[in-house]
């Protein structure tokens, strides 16, 4: 009987682990869409948004960071409580190793304690480290919610296909282009080569998620 229980428990753990990307460097979306890739129609349907605000937001993209997006939405007349509600549905993931306290506090449901925990474990080598460390303080459901707001840049020269495909809005075609030019010597090379296929604005959006280590 004990052997059966042990085998069953292992099977449950395996199923749970299979449902979570082990090597992902950008948190998997649970409730939010990425502000730089969401369609105008998707944005217009969100809380406190409308067609005019969605059109204006798309026209300003890409936003370099969450503070820039927050400043823009504030200029559109949204109040802080409205923004908090909106950020449960749309956000610009923050770089775990460089994000500011102000950006972390824009994540709905975070406070000074969670800011302290986010910052304590820098530098993050991988998103799995965030999962392990922050998982000490919150349950699995809350951890999955928080993960969707953060990322650790992928290493352009060593990232797996699975890692690269966690970048919002990136598909198999661009995956192929990312890998074609390895090894990258400098970020300027990435800009030059990937700029053959997408606009400079899209290169700037993608660049947020990459690094050369």
Reply yes or no on whether the pLDDT at 3 is more than 50: no
Q: Which residue has the tokens 């503070």?
A: 67
Cβ neighbours of residue 30 closer than 8 Å, sequence gap 6 or more: 144, 145, 147, 148
Provide the pLDDT for residue 24. Answer: 77
Reply yes or no on whether the pLDDT at 18 is more than 70: no
Q: At residue 159, what are phi and psi to the nearest 5 degrees?
A: -60, 140
Peptide bond into 162 cis (omega under 30): no
Confidence of residue 4 (pLDDT cuts 50, 70, 90): very low
Reply yes or no on whether the pLDDT at 141 is more than 50: yes
């Amino acid at each position: 009987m004990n052997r059966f229980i042990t085998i069953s428990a292992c099977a449950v753990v395996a199923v749970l682990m299979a449902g979570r990307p082990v090597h992902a460097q950008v948190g998997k979306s649970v409730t939010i869409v990425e502000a730089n890739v969401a369609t105008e129609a998707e944005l217009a349907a969100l809380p406190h948004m409308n067609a005019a605000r969605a059109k204006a937001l798309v026209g300003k993209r890409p936003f370099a960071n969450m503070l820039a997006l927050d400043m823009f939405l504030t200029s559109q007349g949204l109040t802080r409580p409205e923004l908090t509600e909106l950020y449960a549905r749309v956000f610009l993931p923050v770089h775990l190793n460089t994000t500011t306290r102000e950006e972390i506090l824009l994540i709905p449901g975070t406070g000074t304690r969670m800011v302290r925990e986010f910052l304590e474990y820098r530098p993050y080598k991988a998103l799995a480290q965030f999962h392990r460390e922050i998982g000490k303080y919150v349950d699995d459901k809350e951890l999955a919610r928080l993960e969707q707001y953060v990322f650790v840049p992928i290493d352009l020269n060593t990232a797996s296909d699975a890692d690269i495909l966690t970048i919002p809005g990136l598909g198999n075609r661009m995956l192929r282009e990312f890998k074609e030019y390895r090894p990258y010597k400098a970020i300027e090379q990435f800009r030059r080569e990937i700029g053959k296929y997408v606009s400079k604005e899209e290169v700037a959006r993608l660049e947020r998620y990459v690094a050369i280590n």
